[in-house]
């Protein structure tokens, strides 16, 4: 269990959001303005979907009880969106097969992070799978869209320093994102308490 907890920490927003920002920094340093814009839009859209589904459930109980779905796993979405792109860009100066290998390694690690969310009982299988599919779609769409754009020159030292910094922050306390989303959901819905999976069980028992 300790290994799964350590692995799942790499998907926390305290790591993956700075990682997404680092990708923007890498691209801007290489003057790849269009790639930076596409990445910002795609990642931002993914984050918006995750937040929307979580707030919908916490505030109003909107989800899919049949498959135990209360919202996309943020850890899974962010990991599968960010890590494959980092792997791809980190080897930007290499041949296409090397860049694809970097993408594949990043995706494999991200998928393990997605599995860890189920193993530590943070998410159901449907939430982890849907989050991983959403994040993978974002990374693949980004690579596909930008394949026709001139390859930027990514500063190798900037990549190394960024990755070292991200590894260091992964040891920090998890960001209180769930508490923040709960506050926002309750404020928007006007309810005095958050909906939980237990409410589904209670409703099922009543019926």
For the chain, domain boundaries = 2-206
- pLDDT at residue 206, as a whole number: 47
Q: What is the pTM (predicted TM-score) of this model?
A: 0.91
Distance CA 126, CA 4 (A): 18
- pLDDT at residue 207, as a whole number: 46
Mean pLDDT by 10 residues, the chain (207 residues): 85 92 90 93 97 96 93 97 93 84 95 96 96 98 86 74 78 82 93 86 58
φ/ψ of 64, rounded to 5, equals: -125, 95
Category of 49 on φ-ψ map: left (φ > 0), alpha (ψ -120 to 50) or beta: alpha
- pLDDT at residue 1, as a whole number: 64
For 26-44, give the DSSP string.
HHHHTT-HHHHHHHHHHHH
**CA torsion sign, 143 to 146 to 149 to 153?**
negative
Decide: 130 and 103 in contact? Cβ < 8 Å: no
């Amino acid at each position: 269990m300790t290994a799964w907890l350590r692995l799942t920490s790499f998907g926390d927003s305290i790591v993956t959001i700075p990682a997404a920002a680092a990708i923007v920094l890498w691209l801007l340093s290489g003057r790849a303005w269009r790639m930076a814009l596409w990445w910002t839009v795609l990642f931002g859209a993914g984050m918006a979907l995750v937040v929307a589904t979580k707030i919908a459930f916490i505030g109003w109980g909107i989800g899919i009880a049949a498959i135990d779905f209360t919202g996309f796993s943020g850890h899974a979405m962010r990991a599968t969106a960010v890590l494959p792109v980092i792997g791809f860009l980190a080897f930007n100066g290499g041949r296409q097969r090397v860049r694809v290998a970097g993408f594949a390694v990043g995706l494999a690690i991200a998928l393990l992070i997605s599995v860890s969310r189920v193993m530590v009982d943070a998410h159901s299988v449907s939430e982890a799978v849907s989050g991983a599919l959403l994040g993978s779609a974002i990374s693949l769409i980004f690579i596909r869209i930008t394949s026709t754009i001139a390859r930027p020159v990514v500063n190798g030292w900037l990549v190394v320093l960024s990755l070292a910094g991200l590894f260091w922050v992964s040891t920090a306390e998890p960001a209180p994102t769930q508490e923040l989303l709960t506050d926002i959901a309750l404020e928007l819905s006007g309810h005095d308490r958050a909906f939980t999976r237990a409410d589904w069980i209670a409703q099922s028992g009543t019926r």
